[in-house]
Amino acid sequence: MKKIKESITTEKGVYVLFLECNRNLTVRVGSFGELAVKPGIYAYVGSAFGGGGLKSRLGRHFKTAKKCRWHIDYIRRHMRAKAVWYTNEGVDAEHRTARRFIEGGAEIPMKGFGSSDCSCISHLFYMESIPEPFLPFSVEIS
């Protein structure tokens, strides 16, 4: 994991974190509700516009033992990080990226996941495999 952290920029931007689940399970996402998880790939679209930028935010996502603060924190501990895509574009790229997953036919496992502060239907998507990157930078983790 050290290598991936060194390759991610401290600039601000938008990212997609790809997680792999190997079994069926149910995860309580705080007070938001329960998420039925099935084996496959989950793509979480997020942004990092605070201090430390992408490196800081993704560094947090790579940790599994932490206090749950965001929706993604609740499911992250049950899944293995597989890849990250990112861009240094502004916040609009977050919404365009989420729409692109929807338009590409990705399933929406939980409406409102990660998108309670915007009008996107969700920022969490399910697919059987990681697609070809459509953001400028991509890093495989495993």
- At 4-17, the pLDDT tens digits run 556 788 899 999 99
52/116 Cα distance (integer angstroms): 23
For the chain, the average pLDDT equals 91
pLDDT number for residue 2: 46
φ, ψ of residue 83 to 5 degrees: the values are -165, 160
Q: In the chain, what are the domain boundaries?
A: 2-140
Q: If 0-12 CB within 10 Å is exposed, 13-18 middle and 19+ buried, where does residue 27 land?
A: middle
Q: What is the pTM of this model?
A: 0.93
What is the mean pLDDT of the segment spanning 116-129? 92
